[in-house]
Structure 1
Amino acid sequence: MTAEFAVAMPAVVLLLALLLAGSAAGVTQLRLEEAARAGARAMARGEDPAAVGVIVRRLAGSAAVPALASDGEWFSVTVSGKVPGAVGSLLPWTLSARAWARSESSGPSAAARFPPAGAPRFLDLAA
């Protein structure tokens, strides 16, 4: 009985660790998706990129990396982050989510804060 327990116990512990890592990844993905949606909504309302970065980090955590892009009337917010926990720190497991929103303002839009046409229109808020 003891030998069988000694053989089965590491397998059970490994299975439990994988289940917990999968759960952490699922929760992280949901947080990143919600942060990307909230960031895209804020950009559509006309918020400045720094305020969008604050919103994204508040929802996805301080380790989240937001990247904003503008394509005329459409705004894109991509949020990426690593899976937390012991297994997430051992494996380079990075998740990301992207959300798009159309500008809601009729006056000077948030697109005016991005470089003009022909210039790169990405803003990295990793700092």
Structure 2
Amino acid sequence: WRARHVLDVISLGPDTATGLGVGWAGTVTGLLLLVSALVAVSTALVGPVAFFGLLVAALAERIVDTRRHGVLLPAAALAGIAVLVGGQTLFQHALGNATALGVVIEFVGGLVFLLLLVLGSRK
């Protein structure tokens, strides 16, 4: 959360970020190490739901219609909570635990990933 303004500057590209005073290589390396550590810890604690972060980030970006990290990070957190709680409630009460929520998240996340790849290649 504290790096949200730096993330906005980094998203402009390496030349622009360097021109605005952000140390590109050090900041990107530090953020990648932080993200990989957080993913490792969450996978160890929760289990391998690989596409959940991608699914929530894409959903939050579509909902708030901005790329500003100050708005996008809380929206992604709320979307993640809503998807997990809503999905688990749906599977427990409406479907009687017919399948695991992780399986559905992996399937839908994989489809969203492929969709984002296809739409990104068209640009």
**TM-score interval, smaller chain:** under 0.3
Task: Give the number of the structure whose residues are more often helix, by fraction.
Answer: 2
TM-score, length of structure 2 as denominator length:
0.26
TM-score, length of structure 1 as denominator length:
0.25
Task: Give the number of the structure whose residues are more often strand, by fraction.
Answer: 1
Q: Which has the larger radius of gyration?
A: 1
